[in-house]
Chain A
């Protein structure tokens, strides 16, 4: 379960949300500038709210009252970004094992070999990121995030930079992950079509506030 109460004031933007998320796959939907990605940043610890409380899986990671602010690397969040962010000096296999080795002491969610099979990465493992297509990069990024054995997987518009054809190729993989791996997923998108293929749990965000929750 994720609990987030956060206020954040920026020059041209104000965020004020209070959410409790306890569904397996949840989508955050809204127009650009509505604060979707900011919520992910707050949960991940990339951005700090002015005030609030954030807990992941019952563990508090931020509390402005008790001045608690766990750094990103201790929050155990798997993040998939729009642009993949694969490490260019490592091949696919090294990108994947980087995440796995860092969390070797944790209870493992999934093994590298299983991920490579699930996301069809076996044939790509010796390739470097610059040799991969956009869709392949996103599959590796997804695999890498899962191999860090996160308590929560967050995807920030992971398909936004892909064309429609590629999107349709990646979506089945996302569904596979959602169905096969026991990790809560938070999926940010501004595409209703994408979301409807993954979940019916949608949080609608507008101008930094939650409008409808269903």
Chain B
């Protein structure tokens, strides 16, 4: 039993890498996620349904497909990747930063779904009221729309974070399974199941995954409740 909870430095490094990837993923999708959600919730424009479909595509495709497309696009020989590589000596494929990009693509639709719904539920009459008091539309967004949509934004971010922690298919296709570089929790668990005597370390990583997932859910619940209280909405205990 004790062996299940005595985590080795390598295992903790895997957790650290996964957390780093997930946090950065959430940070890079935060602003584009809110912007796209606002566009989809509030504006009508040519190509809106196309944008909507594109955003949601990673949710319905097998994750290997976005991973492969990322490789074609951002790989060292890829459409954009080769320029990044030749001009800046910078490559995303097979690096942990690439893992962030892969998770971001996969987590983006979850962030947008939740945030978009929250924004579309904000009473537009309140926005008009703020405008009539003299608030510029941008001011209205930051002082009325966004605070009132905050519970949905938080849910979206936690969903994205969890999605990123669990990302497997797109990550392994785009950045491989390189120890200390791109081997995040799910990839490590998978790797351990492929070697003899790997069950125990795999089990330890499973326990760590569960702790992280539970932590994220509890944090999400707490933050959401706080955000709801702040906007005067009752939450059910």
**Chain B CB within 10 A, most for which of A73, A78, A102, A148:** A73
Contact of A89 with B129 at beta-carbon distance under 8 Å, contacts A73-B135, A103-B134 already known:
no
Taking a contact as CB atoms under 8 Å apart, the answer to whether B143 and A98 are in contact is: yes
Taking a contact as CB atoms under 8 Å apart, the answer to whether A72 and B232 are in contact is: no
Q: Is A139 among interface residues, defined by CB-CB distance under 8 A?
A: no
Interface membership of chain A positions 139-173, coded 1 if the CB is closer than 8 angstroms to chain B and 0 otherwise: 00000110010000000000000000000000000
Taking a contact as CB atoms under 8 Å apart, the answer to whether A89 and B132 are in contact is: no
Taking a contact as CB atoms under 8 Å apart, the answer to whether B132 and A77 are in contact is: yes
Interface membership of chain A positions 72-107, coded 1 if the CB is closer than 8 angstroms to chain B and 0 otherwise: 111111110101010111000000001100110000
Taking a contact as CB atoms under 8 Å apart, the answer to whether B134 and A73 are in contact is: yes
Q: Is A130 among interface residues, defined by CB-CB distance under 8 A?
A: yes
Give chain B residues whose Cβ lies under 8 Å from the Cβ of A88: 126, 148, 231-233
For chain B, residues 99 to 144, give those with C-beta under 8 angstroms from any C-beta of chain A.
123, 125-126, 128-137, 139, 143-144
Taking a contact as CB atoms under 8 Å apart, the answer to whether A81 and B135 are in contact is: no
Q: Is A44 among interface residues, defined by CB-CB distance under 8 A?
A: yes
Q: Chain B residue with minimal CB distance to A74?
A: B134
Taking a contact as CB atoms under 8 Å apart, the answer to whether A129 and B232 are in contact is: yes
Taking a contact as CB atoms under 8 Å apart, the answer to whether A130 and B125 are in contact is: no
Q: Chain B residue with minimal CB distance to A91?
A: B232
Taking a contact as CB atoms under 8 Å apart, the answer to whether B134 and A44 are in contact is: no
Give chain B residues whose Cβ lies under 8 Å from the Cβ of A71: 131, 137
Q: Chain A residue with minimal CB distance to B134?
A: A102
Q: Chain B residue with minimal CB distance to A83?
A: B125
Q: Chain B residue with minimal CB distance to A100?
A: B133
- State A213–B129 Cα separation when bound (angstroms): 30
- State A72–B132 Cα separation when bound (angstroms): 6
Give chain A residues whose Cβ lies under 8 Å from the Cβ of B78: none
Taking a contact as CB atoms under 8 Å apart, the answer to whether B135 and A128 are in contact is: no
- State A74–B123 Cα separation when bound (angstroms): 21
Give chain B residues whose Cβ lies under 8 Å from the Cβ of A78: 132-133
Taking a contact as CB atoms under 8 Å apart, the answer to whether A44 and B130 are in contact is: no
Taking a contact as CB atoms under 8 Å apart, the answer to whether A98 and B126 are in contact is: no
Q: Is A46 among interface residues, defined by CB-CB distance under 8 A?
A: yes
Give chain A residues whose Cβ lies under 8 Å from the Cβ of B148: 88-89
- State A70–B100 Cα separation when bound (angstroms): 45
- State A98–B148 Cα separation when bound (angstroms): 15
Q: Is B166 among interface residues, defined by CB-CB distance under 8 A?
A: no
- B233 CB to closest chain A CB (Å) equals 7
Taking a contact as CB atoms under 8 Å apart, the answer to whether A87 and B135 are in contact is: no
- State A87–B132 Cα separation when bound (angstroms): 13
Contact of A44 with B133 at beta-carbon distance under 8 Å, contacts A87-B126, A89-B147 already known:
no
Taking a contact as CB atoms under 8 Å apart, the answer to whether B133 and A144 are in contact is: yes
- 8 closest A-B pairs by beta carbon, nearest first, are A89-B231, A85-B129, A72-B131, A88-B232, A102-B134, A148-B133, A99-B133, A79-B132
Q: List 29 A-B contacts (CB under 8 A).
A: A71-B137, A72-B128, A72-B131, A73-B131, A73-B132, A73-B133, A73-B135, A73-B137, A74-B134, A75-B132, A78-B132, A81-B125, A81-B129, A83-B125, A85-B126, A85-B129, A87-B126, A87-B130, A88-B126, A88-B232, A89-B148, A89-B231, A89-B232, A98-B135, A98-B143, A99-B134, A102-B139, A128-B232, A129-B232
* A-B contact sample (17 more), CB < 8 A, given A72-B131, A89-B232, A98-B143: A44-B132, A46-B128, A71-B131, A73-B132, A73-B135, A79-B132, A81-B129, A83-B125, A85-B128, A85-B129, A87-B144, A88-B232, A98-B135, A99-B133, A102-B134, A129-B232, A144-B133
